[in-house]
Amino acid sequence: DARVTQTPRHKVTEMGQEVTMRCQPILGHNTVFWYRQTMMQGLELLAYFRNRAPLDDSGMPKDRFSAEMPDATLATLKIQPSEPRDSAVYFCASGLTVQPQHFGDGTRLSIL
Amino acid sequence: KQEVTQIPAALSVPEGENLVLNCSFTDSAIYNLQWFRQDPGKGLTSLLLIQSSQREQTSGRLNASLDKSSGRSTLYIAASQPGDSATYLCAPSQGGSEKLVFGKGTKLTVNP
């Protein structure tokens, strides 16, 4: 059963440190999404890619967040420098145009 | 900007009941609408996807309807089971794009 794989599952680090989250989308999916989930805001779209090209990153704080797809099997989301308000669960999802999005289990990030 | 409201926020029912979860959204010019379930500590699982041209979709005991003109969707769960306990999230797209906007969810508890 094909799955979206996210690493690490949990990350605790201190304020100011760089954080890198990785996502392996389902093979053959051409669209990759990054979401953030918090109790207060719920689920928010940060950025998404089609065929590895960024289509929209308007939901992402540009000064500290960056998202890339070095190749079709890897998407990364980086935060530098990290801040306590970045603490959240970050989800990656992949899909095909007009098909349901498939989510990974998320990276639970805590910034102290 | 698309805004999504889900009512009720929480629901507790005895096993075997049929139930309806409601979702309303402000922008009727959607591309599609998805219903997801989320189990604690897990990612989202897609339940049903309704294209903008469709009125409903069914999968097993689940049926989702869509009324674009009134900005409403409902998820009907027949003969509820304890395994249905989860948070259910409604996500219409934003305008004509694939970007999903999520409601805060309905937390369902089905008691044996």
CB count in 10 Å sphere of residue B69: 7
CA distance A42 to chain B (A): 6
Q: Residue A95: what pLDDT?
A: 92
Coil, strand, or helix at residue A85? helix
Phi, psi of A110 (to 5 degrees): -125, 125
Ordered per-residue pLDDT tens for chain A, 112 residues: 789 999 999 999 999 999 999 999 999 999 999 999 999 999 999 999 999 999 988 889 889 999 999 999 999 999 999 999 999 999 999 998 767 889 999 999 999 9
Tokens of A41: 């805001």
The whole-angstrom separation of Cα A42 and Cα A15 is: 23
Q: Is B103 on the interface with A (CB under 8 A)?
A: yes
Tokens of B14: 């005895």
Q: Is A90 on the interface with B (CB under 8 A)?
A: no
Q: Residue A98: what pLDDT?
A: 67
Is there a contact between B98 and A97 if contact means CB atoms under 8 Å apart? yes
State pLDDT tens for residues B63-87: 999 999 999 999 999 999 999 999 9
Query: Chain B: residue nearest A31 by CA?
Result: B98
Q: Residue B18: what pLDDT?
A: 97
Give B-chain residues touching A48 at CB under 8 angstroms: 98-99
CA distance A43 to chain B (A): 6
CA distance B52 to chain A (A): 11
Detail the DSSP E strand segments found in chain B. Answer: 4-7, 10-14, 19-25, 32-38, 44-51, 56-59, 62-67, 72-77, 86-92, 106-111
Q: Is A97 on the interface with B (CB under 8 A)?
A: yes
DSSP B93: B
Residue A61 makes CB contacts below 8 A (sequence gap 6+) with none
Is there a contact between B44 and A103 if contact means CB atoms under 8 Å apart? yes
Q: Is A5 on the interface with B (CB under 8 A)?
A: no
Phi, psi of B98 (to 5 degrees): -90, 0
The CA radius of gyration of chain B, in Å to the nearest whole number, is: 13
Q: Is A105 on the interface with B (CB under 8 A)?
A: yes
Is there a contact between A100 and B34 if contact means CB atoms under 8 Å apart? yes
